[in-house]
Structure 1
Amino acid sequence: MPVISVPQDFNEEELYVDLRSIVGHPLFLKCEGFNFAGSIKLKAATEMITAAERDGALTPGSILVESSSGNLGVALSMIAASKGYQFLCVTDSRCNLSTRRLMEALGSHVHIITEPDTNGGFLGARIDHVRTLCASDNRYIWLNQYANPGNWKAHYHTTAPAIAAAFPQLDVLFIGAGTTGTLMGCARYFWERHRPVRIIAVDSVGSVTFGGTPRRRMIPGLGTSLRPPLLDESYVDDVIHVEEADTIRTCHRLARNGFLFGGSTGTVVSGATDWLAQHDTRALTAVAIAPDLGERYLDTIYQTNWLQDLYGENVLNSNKLTAGSQPV
């Protein structure tokens, strides 16, 4: 029986969902949302805070500050509350209302950026705001998830080894690309061990992470309007870009089978399904990483008016909502 004294001490690492009957292809989904922060970002938050404490950058009088579209902000809020730090999250208008309220319930402050940067996204504007705060008061400590090596090291030491242990014959791994911390940590782990695992990055259409043309993106989590400093494309075998409408349809398809996942998971599963449909999967072992669950998206991707206002009345009228084809 697990007994913990601080919330970050619990994280379910070994839960997978077999999606074959839903997507029609062999695909195991690693569920990273079963912890008190509700997402995979707990790992990066823990690693970065621990490193900052060890290096002496973070002291009892410090104020943590970070730019986040939501999930890392919640994870940092939770750890800050348990350790007695102040935390200020700089997010933007796409952040789910429930996520903002959760951070505030944990005692954090939230600054919302409403004007996009020159690429039409919010990341550059959020980072500018963080830099202004840090310049105004030396108590602010910016962990900088976009360049902090602790971001990818967290997954190098936890997520990747767990997958390798569960699937010794793994052939392909699908990973969503946001800050690219999860992507780089897992990719480095398998590359350094000479494991013949194909690493497939899944990104959102409109993201510039892999050189795409910037476009409006309304679902937080994956994709960026600035290329992440952590990214090293030499570790990536293939990149898939997913339209937000396909993300939404995949989320609803999973929900109609009893699995309520978040937008990042919908993007990863959609991309993985398309990739598998184009390849011979008869002897393939494939895993995708699900960063979070779906409760925080009830007012957005699971809310009819929000969907229709942004994507049109027919966004859910698609064969991608039907049951998967016969397993191969």
Structure 2
Amino acid sequence: MPVISAPHAYNEGQLYVDLESIMGRSLFLKCEGFNFAGSIKLKAAVEMVEAAERDGLLTPDSVLIESSSGNLGVALSMIAASKGYRFLCVTDSRCNLSTRLLMEALGSEVHVIADLDANGGFLGARIDYVRALCAADDRYVWLSQYTNPGNWRAHHRRTAPEIARQFPQLDVLFVGAGTTGTLMGCARFFRTWHRPVRVVAVDTVGSVTFGGEPGRRMIPGIGMSMRPPLLDESYVDEVIKVEEADTIRVCHRLARRGFLFGGSTGTVVSGAMDWLARHDDMGELTAVAIAPDLGERYLDTIYQTTWLEDLYGEHVLGGEEVTAGSPAAEPALPTPVGGREPLNGAP
């Protein structure tokens, strides 16, 4: 039984869900939501804070500041509370209410940006606000998850090796693309592994991470309104983009079987199922996808009927909108709207 004295000292990294009985295809889902921050962002938060401490950037008078759509903000709130730092999270109106309340319960200050940037998102406006505060007061320390190498190093050191130990015959890995820290850390690790692994990035329609036109995105935690500075596409074999309606249907399908996951997980599973369906001719593959968080923080959004119908229409759930006691119907698989040819040497 583990005994800890700091909340970030506990992070379960060896739990996987076999989705074959639910989704009809073999896919092992790595669950990253079982820690006191509730998401995979705890790894990057610990890495970045401890690096700033080693470099002497943080002092007792420092105020941590970060732009976050939610999960990193919670992780930093928890660490700041544990270590005695003040923390200001700059987020936007898409951030789930429960996430904002959680950060405030941990003693953090939350500033919500409501103005869109030039790409129709909030990220540019959030970063502008952070930069203005840092320029006006040198007590602010911006970790900058978008450019901080600690973001991807955390997953190169921890997430990818955890997968490698559990699945020594791994063929394909599906990773959601937000800041691309998880994607880059895992892709760099498996590029030099003992066997070739195809790394498939899963993005959301409306994101400009891999190019394309910006569009409306209502589910936080995946996609970007600017190209992520950490992204190096030479490590990515393929890209799949998923419509938010497909994300929602997969989330509800998993929930009907007792697994309540967040929106990023629904996106990654949707994209993975599409990819696997299109690669039946490759035979039996060992496939893993990363689930960044659980679903409790999305109860007032993707699991709330009024929110869904207002944004996506009354038929968004399709076959997943079932009455109590009725079996869930099979939803249509998503169709990728972006992507590219795999790199040479990919299996």
TM-score (norm 1): 0.97
Q: Which amino acid aligns with 2:102?
A: L
Extract unaligned runs of 5+ from structure 1. Answer: none
**Partner-residue secondary structure (3-state), 1:158:** helix
Percentage of pairs with the same residue: 78
CA deviation after TM superposition for structure 1 residue 141, in Å: 0.3
Q: Given the alignment of the two structures, is residue 251 of structure 1 paired with residue 259 of structure 2, yes or no?
A: no
CA deviation after TM superposition for structure 1 residue 218, in Å: 0.3
Partner of 1:108: 108
CA deviation after TM superposition for structure 1 residue 194, in Å: 4.8
**Partner-residue secondary structure (3-state), 2:168:** coil
**Partner-residue secondary structure (3-state), 1:66:** strand
Distance 1:42 1:5 in 2: 16
Q: Deviations over 1:111-165 (max 9, x none)?
A: 0000110100001110000001101100000000000000000000000000000
Partner of 1:195: 195
Q: Deviations over 1:147-196 (max 9, x none)?
A: 00000000000000000000000000000000000000000001123530
Contact 2:320 / 2:331 at 8 angstroms: preserved in 1? Answer: no
Partner of 2:169: 169
Q: Given the alignment of the two structures, is residue 139 of structure 1 paired with residue 139 of structure 2, yes or no?
A: yes
Partner of 2:302: 301
Higher relative contact order (CA 8 A, sep 6+): 1
Q: Given the alignment of the two structures, is residue 118 of structure 1 paired with residue 125 of structure 2, yes or no?
A: no
**Partner-residue secondary structure (3-state), 1:79:** helix
Q: Deviations over 1:63-92 (max 9, x none)?
A: 000000000000000000000000000000
Q: Given the alignment of the two structures, is residue 312 of structure 1 paired with residue 319 of structure 2, yes or no?
A: no
Contact 1:262 / 1:296 at 8 angstroms: preserved in 2? Answer: yes
Contact 1:21 / 1:324 at 8 angstroms: preserved in 2? Answer: no
**Partner-residue secondary structure (3-state), 1:47:** helix
Q: Given the alignment of the two structures, is residue 35 of structure 1 paired with residue 35 of structure 2, yes or no?
A: yes
| Alignment RMSD (CA, Å) | 1.3
Distance 1:214 1:310 in 2: 17
> Bigger shift: 104-113 or 315-324?
315-324
Q: Which amino acid aligns with 2:197?
A: V
Contact 2:204 / 2:243 at 8 angstroms: preserved in 1? Answer: yes
Partner of 1:279: 279
**Partner-residue secondary structure (3-state), 1:175:** strand
Distance 2:172 2:212 in 1: 23
CA deviation after TM superposition for structure 1 residue 324, in Å: 8.1
Q: Which amino acid aligns with 1:286?
A: A
Distance 1:324 1:178 in 2: 25
Distance 1:92 1:301 in 2: 17
Q: Deviations over 1:233-269 (max 9, x none)?
A: 0000000000000000000000001000000000000
Contact 2:268 / 2:290 at 8 angstroms: preserved in 1? Answer: yes
Contact 1:23 / 1:324 at 8 angstroms: preserved in 2? Answer: no
Distance 1:322 1:134 in 2: 51
Distance 1:115 1:319 in 2: 34
Q: Given the alignment of the two structures, is residue 14 of structure 1 paired with residue 14 of structure 2, yes or no?
A: yes
Distance 1:233 1:245 in 2: 26
Contact 1:62 / 1:140 at 8 angstroms: preserved in 2? Answer: yes
Change (3 A) 1:282 1:324: farther
Partner of 2:179: 179
Partner of 1:288: 289
Contact 1:24 / 1:324 at 8 angstroms: preserved in 2? Answer: no
CA deviation after TM superposition for structure 1 residue 282, in Å: 3.3
Distance 2:57 2:288 in 1: 37
Contact 1:61 / 1:139 at 8 angstroms: preserved in 2? Answer: yes
Distance 1:277 1:192 in 2: 27
Q: Which runs of 4+ in 1 moved over 4 A?
A: none
Q: Deviations over 1:18-59 (max 9, x none)?
A: 000111111000000000000000000000000000000111
**Partner-residue secondary structure (3-state), 1:193:** coil
**Partner-residue secondary structure (3-state), 2:216:** coil
Partner of 1:235: 235
Contact 1:206 / 1:214 at 8 angstroms: preserved in 2? Answer: yes
Partner of 1:56: 56
**Partner-residue secondary structure (3-state), 1:227:** coil
CA deviation after TM superposition for structure 1 residue 323, in Å: 4.6
Distance 2:86 2:57 in 1: 14
Aligned residues: 325
